[in-house]
Amino acid sequence: MNITLRIALKYLTTFRFNHFITYITLISIIGIVIGVAALIIVISIFNGFAEFTENQLQAYDPHLRVSPKNGLWLNYVEVLDKIKNFPEISHVFPVIQGRVIISKDKSLKSISLNCLKIEDFKKMEGFSKAKIYGKLNIQPEGRNLNLLLGAMVADDMRILPDDTVRLMSLNMIEKSLVSLSYSPGIEANISGIFQSNNIEYDNDYAFIDFETGKYLLNPPPKSASMVDIELIDGNKTSELQKKVVDFFPNLKVETWYDLHKELYNIMKLEQLGVFVVLSLIILIAVFNVLASLAMTVVEKKQDIGILMSLGATSSMIRKIYLNIGLTIGLVSTILGTIIGLSFCYGQINFGWIKLSTTKFLISTLPLSVNFFDVLLIFSFSLLISFLATIYPAKRAANMIIIDAIRSE
């Protein structure tokens, strides 16, 4: 073993009960351990909630959405013909979307009406996880139209399954105003009410069949508001986005991330804020390391002088102090990492912390360990531990022998 490392380890493993610097060193180690463990746990909690949010959003939103850059409509037949045979795609379908007025008795509300073909609606996986009151059905039954409505809209308007409502598009309202005549709109039966726990859907969305959407919103022939694309492997979204953009440079091609960019930016900002705040725990602990090593230089002045008189060079003295600081940082960081990861995997596998399902959508606290985050925290702790040793190591190495061994 290197002589400088042996001296450093000898110093660290010699515990003196009546020595103030020893207790400062212990407090430093405990502080770094707590800081590293806390960072790993809290960042993993943020990652867990982020993954849960992504799963909630992806259950209803497509991996890719193609929509017009300018105007309201695009030729969906042309889009389908060019991309439907891409091997990455599992399902692609047109959607007509527009604002309509829904009315029941004296209640009125503007909602976003989404119109899909029956076979495409049945493939929307999100509704298999949603709570459905009534039936999950938008297929017309004879002359009766079926409408699926978001829970918050239904609650605001006191609508129940099997109630009858009226739908009126903005085009119908405009024609009524121009012609000074009354347009009753169309009647639809509430086949079901869905609760997706996605506020955007529950508070604003309704679903109806594609042909009724064409009648209400009156798009040009072979046109739709957007084309939604589901992939076999969601990790290839960015790759396919580039391919679709090459085919349709004049259309807007968005990933599920682009559709909720503001939400993800907020989550990243929160995660960064937590990292900065919890890093202060490590910084304060590392400052204690610097203080204890600086005091050690003064206390061990004579010992340093004796080592130098025996032939130790300034470089060796510097390495001894660097080894002490790095050993404290490495041991503390490893212990903190082990504690943090142990808690994370314990919560993931055994669900120690429970959540009330009456208040939350999940039964246990979600955690997701990202090894890049763990590596970043580990490296950050080691780096600042190293930086904290530079000043005392330099001060010890620059000590003059005769001053060091002079009796005080």
* Prediction pTM value: 0.80
Compute the average pLDDT of residues 47-66: 85
| CA distances from residue 197 to 52, 53, 150, 238, 362 in whole angstroms, order as listed | 12, 10, 10, 27, 11
Compute the average pLDDT of residues 140-149: 91
Token pair of 126 as six digits: 């999100």
| CA distances from residue 263 to 250, 268, 379 in whole angstroms, order as listed | 27, 9, 29
Task: Say yes or no to pLDDT of 407 above 50.
Answer: no
Could you tell me where the DSSP H helices lie in 110-159? 118-121, 151-157
Token pair of 38 as six digits: 């806390």
Q: Are strands 146-150 and 186-195 parallel, antiparallel or unpaired?
A: parallel
Q: What is the pLDDT of residues 79-134, one digit of tens each?
A: 999 898 889 999 999 999 999 999 998 889 999 999 999 999 988 877 877 888 99
What residues contact 376, with CB distance under 8 A and at least 6 apart? none
Task: Say yes or no to pLDDT of 62 above 50.
Answer: yes
Q: Which of 390, 382, 381 is nearest to 282 (CA)?
A: 381
At residue 181, the pLDDT reads 66
At residue 192, the pLDDT reads 95
At residue 363, the pLDDT reads 82
Task: Say yes or no to pLDDT of 65 above 90.
Answer: yes
Distance CA(147)–CA(261), nearest Å, equals 30
Q: What is the pLDDT of residues 262-285, one digit of tens each?
A: 888 888 888 888 888 888 888 888
- Collapsing DSSP to helix, strand or coil, 171 comes out as helix
Q: Exposed, middle or buried by CB within 10 Å (0-12, 13-18, 19+), for 311?
A: exposed
Q: What average pLDDT is seen over the chain?
A: 86
Q: What is the pLDDT of residues 377-393, one digit of tens each?
A: 999 999 999 998 888 88
Task: Say yes or no to pLDDT of 408 above 70.
Answer: no
Q: What is the pLDDT of residues 186-233, one digit of tens each?
A: 999 999 999 988 888 899 999 999 999 999 998 999 999 999 999 988
Distance CA(278)–CA(351), nearest Å, equals 24
Distance CA(7)–CA(320), nearest Å, equals 7
